[in-house]
Structure 1
Amino acid sequence: MGLRDDVERFQSVGEERREDLADFIQYGDLGQSGATEINVPVKIVDPPEFEYDRRDQGGVGQGDGDTPDVGQPVGPPQSQPGDGDEEGEPGEEGGDHEYYEMDPEEFAQELDEELGLDLDPKGKTVVEETEGPFTDLTRSGPNSTLDVERMFREGLKRKVAMAFDEDFVREVCTVAGITPREVFEWAREERLPVSMAWIERAHEDVADERGRWESIADVEASVEREPISQRIRRDGIDHVPLRREDERYRHPEIVEEREKNVVVVNIRDVSGSMRETKRELVERVFTPLDWYLTGKYDTAEFVYIAHDAEAWEVERADFFGIRSGGGTKISSAYELADEVLSEYPWNDWNRYVFAAGDSENSSNDTSERVIPMMEEIDANLHAYVETQPSGNAINATHAEELEKHFGADADDVAVTYVNSSDDVADAIYDILSTEGETDE
């Protein structure tokens, strides 16, 4: 194995040493990443390399008297000052890191694999209609598109359906005293596709033979019927009855190219009870969700709403750092979200509404205002993330009320609890795996 192979192996090992995505979103430094570039830390190990030392060399092939003979093992070089062998306390600084860069699309693919997700976004806005394969059929069209095979199959099915054992019917016509009408009535009871005109001709053809049988029962007991399939295999098919009604013309299927658009409304409680740890947990959930949906959709737009007793729209850069001293009224955020989403029609946009807080809310606001609005606002998914690192407060009932009202099996509402970084990956999975089939 040469040096090039060693370096390539080192590079591949370096990629494998990047943090698992689940660990990264739970404990990693998300601040090194942007909206469209995710930087996952990779611990760096210097690759092996050769070094040429010019000191104390007398020339090519010249030694200083201590040069080992061929085959003699070479010991480690003498330590030099500053090479790490001097006495001292162990270092406390972390090793160097570089970053494995991925875009949101790669992030979404890897998160699917990491968490076992399978979100298949639906396109809503038709951007182009193209002709697909000739799978549709119409009753008219140019001769070049006539589906000859189908026409032949229809004629062949008719041929088989209309066939019957003609010799056996002729034998029935030889029964003593039988009339064409009686033969026809018998044929109808036997479900034989024979016409009255055909029977009349056959009855006349065997006039000299009439009286051979005393009854139809005698014919059925003495003459064996020949299956249609056997007759066709023996005699073949002389012609296939083709009719104009069997004509179908191949027509190209119209394929609609749909753009996958999504708008995500992120709502965060910024009231006085939402201290730093709670804010950080919300960021650890919402940021990967933003990356994931950006990677899954062709066009992704994000709206950030902060609220205490009132709600206002903010920029993403300010969303996770705001802290207010006011009370809490969650419905104010949903009222603003409903107003914002009016600019993103449900027929054209996939819509997600993600809210987070510590479940504290003003009296009766959840049942009287928030729940009705969640039911009225069309969205692929409504989600609420409760953060209570130090345990539930007595009046923190918002998540519990949502869960009780919508139930644990709702396919458009997810309620999840994040009390520490350990809960982040599970919360993201719960949210993204809840969405059911969306309406077109």
Structure 2
Amino acid sequence: MGLTEDRERFREVGEKRREDLAEFISHGDLGGSDPDRVRIPVKIVDLPEFKYDRREAGGVGQGESGQPQPGQPVEPKSDGDEEGDPGEEGGEHEYYEMDPEEFARELDEELGLDLEPKGKRVVEEMEGDYTDTARAGPRGTLDVDEFFKRGLKRHLATDFDEDYVREGLHVAGADVDDVFAWARNQGIPVSRAWIADAAATAADEHGEPVEALDRWVSFDALDEDIDREPATHRIRREGLDSVPFRREDERFRHPEVIEKRERNVVVVNVRDVSGSMRETKRELVERVFTPMDWYLTGKYDAAEFRYVVHDAEAWEVDRGEFFGIQSGGGTRISSAYELVAEILEEYPYSEWNRYVFAAGDSENAGSDTTESVMPLMESIDANLHAYVETQPGGAAPNARHADEVEEALGNTGNIAVARVSEPGDVTDAIYEILSTEAEGDGAATAGEAASGLTDGGERR
């Protein structure tokens, strides 16, 4: 193996040994990435290299100024670089870069997710194969096969064994009306006019009335001796001279219209910025929301993100402010959902997949959760509503929001509640949220499920 191949092998080993994705999400530096590029630190593997022994002139083992003399002081050599200030250059850091599509595939594999986005907005209509038909169209698109089949079907439906019907005219005492009634009872599609013509023809051929040609004492006697021949058997034996066609049999071929739908999504991220949301809680929110933004960006053709923060009031911010901002106010979570409802008016549910992800420490004012937040969640159509409780060390006594939402709406199929008390809980929370959407594909809205109109799926 040459040096080039050896170097490449070590590079592959280095990439394979990059930090585990779950470890990166829970403990890695998420700030080194941006929405379109995920940078994961690579565990460095030293590459082999040659080192040459460049000995100074003057002989082996001699000092810089020749052979030292007894009693000559030896000056210690500096630990720093020979030139410049010590430690000026930082160490080399390598990263494995993923685009959001690769990140989504890796996370699917890591967590066992199976989210298949739905196409919503029609972005293009294309003509497919000529598989549709209509009653009108250019003559050149006449579907000849369909035209023939419809005419043949009508012919078979109206054809009957004429000789069999004529025998009915030879039943003793039967007139044209009797024969017509007998034929209709037999399911024979013959008209009275045809029977009357057949009776007249039979009389003319023999020069005497039909009644004089009686061969059967009754219609039952006729049926016992003569079997009616199906039209299909006769056609196979004799063939067809012609098939009667009508204009209503015509069908014209049209191309199938194929709608190309864009798999698009809008994600509204909501965060509590009240005084109780200290730095550790904010970091946990970032560790949950950031990977989910990457994941949904990679899953959908087009993704838009909106960011809402709230204390007792709510306002919209950009992504840069979302994870760092903090206020000193109280908490009223319903203010955020009121703003979310306004924002989502720009994204009709018939055209957009919609996600609402909220996070906080589950502290809320009074009865705001039951009286305001849950009715708003039920009224906002979304693929998924999720609430992430961030309480380092476990839930506080007055942190009831997550529990109340889960108790009332936890079985609706499109609502997920996750709890994160430390970084190690992050991937479990992401799985809880995204697997709820995967399992609840096509599930009812929270309001429909809560009112019993449909059954929601269970979360794992």
Q: TM-score, normalised by structure 2?
A: 0.76
Mean alpha-carbon deviation: is it higher for 280-289 or for 201-210? 201-210
- Cα distance in 2, alignment partners of residues 170 and 262 from structure 1: 74
Asked if 1:328 is matched to 2:337, the reply is no
| 3-state SS of 1:43 partner | coil
Q: Output the CA distance in 2 between the equivalents of 1:16 and 1:181.
A: 93
Change over 3 Å in CA distance of 1:206–1:259 after alignment to 2 = same
Q: Quick one: structure 1 residues 328 and 226, their matched pair in 2 at CA, closer, same or farther if it must change by over 3 Å?
A: same
Look up the match of 1:123.
120
Q: Which residue of 1 aligns with 2:28?
A: 28
Query: What is the Cα deviation at residue 146 of structure 1?
Result: 1.2
Counterpart in the other structure of 2:162 = 166
* One-letter amino acid of the counterpart of residue 390, structure 2: T
- 1:224 to 1:33, Cα distance in 2 relative to 1, 3 A: same
Aligned with 2:378: secondary structure? helix
Q: SS at 1:164's partner residue?
A: coil
Are the equivalent residues in 1 in contact too, given 2:414–2:443 (CA < 8 A)? Answer: no
Structure-1 separation of matches of 2:147 and 2:294: 54
Range with bigger deviation, 266-275 or 12-21: 12-21
Contact 1:119 1:433 in 2 (8 A): no
1-side partners of 2:123 and 2:261: how far apart? Answer: 6
Matched, 1:383 2:379: no
* 1:264 pairs with 2:261: no
Q: What amino acid does structure 1 have at the position aligned with 2:231?
A: I
Query: Displacement, 1:281?
Result: 2.1
Question: 153-162 or 341-350, which moves further after superposition?
Answer: 341-350
Structure 2 residues not aligned, in runs of 5+: 56-90, 445-460
1:419 is matched with which residue? 421
User: In the superposition, relative to structure 1, how do residues 36 and 152 fare at CA in structure 2: closer, same or farther (>3 Å)?
Assistant: same
- State how 1:173-192 maps to structure 2 within 5 Å: 173-192=169-188
1:328 touches 1:360 (CA, 8 Å); kept in 2?
Answer: yes
Identity over aligned pairs, percent: 62
Task: Please give the root-mean-square deviation of Cα atoms over the aligned residues, in Å.
Answer: 3.1
Equivalent residue number for residue 72 of structure 1: none
Comparing 201-210 with 181-190, which one deviates more in the overlay?
A: 201-210
Q: Note the 1:15-54 alignment, pairs <5 A.
A: 15-46=15-46
Cα drift, residue 223 of structure 1? 1.8
1:282 aligns with 2:278: no
Whole-angstrom distance in 2 between the partners of 1:257 and 1:111: 27
| Aligned residues between the structures | 398
The answer on whether the counterparts of 1:14 and 1:42 sit within 8 Å (CA) in structure 2 is yes
Q: Which of residues 143, 158, 161 in structure 1 aligns to 2:139? A: 143
Distance 1:415 1:223, change over 3 A: same
Instruction: Give, in whole Å, the separation in 1 of the partners of 2:105 and 2:193.
Output: 72
| 2:442 is equivalent to residue 437 of structure 1 | yes
Q: For residue 143 of structure 1, what is the amino acid of its counterpart?
A: R
The aligned residue for residue 86 of structure 1 is: none
* Cα contact 2:131–2:254 (8 A) shared by 1: yes
**How many Å separate the matches in 2 of 1:137 and 1:102?**
48
Query: Match of 1:304?
Result: 307
Counterpart CA distance in 1 for 2:319 and 2:183 is 83
Structure 1 window deviating more from structure 2 (143-152 vs 319-328): it is 319-328
Match of 1:292, SS state, is helix
> Contact 2:147–2:251 at 8 Å: present in 1 too?
yes
How far apart in 1 are the matches of 2:430 and 2:167? Answer: 80
Give the Cα separation in 1 of the matches to 2:175 and 2:185. Answer: 16
Matched to 1:162, the amino acid is T
Give 5+ residue unaligned stretches, structure 1: 57-94
- Contact 1:416/1:431 (8 A) holds in 2: yes
Q: 1:359, CA displacement in angstroms?
A: 0.9
For 2:282, the aligned partner's letter is R
For normalisation by structure 1, the TM-score amounts to: 0.79
Secondary structure at 2:94 match in 1: strand
Aligned residue for 2:377, secondary structure, equals helix
C-alpha separation in 1, matches of 2:149 and 2:12 = 59
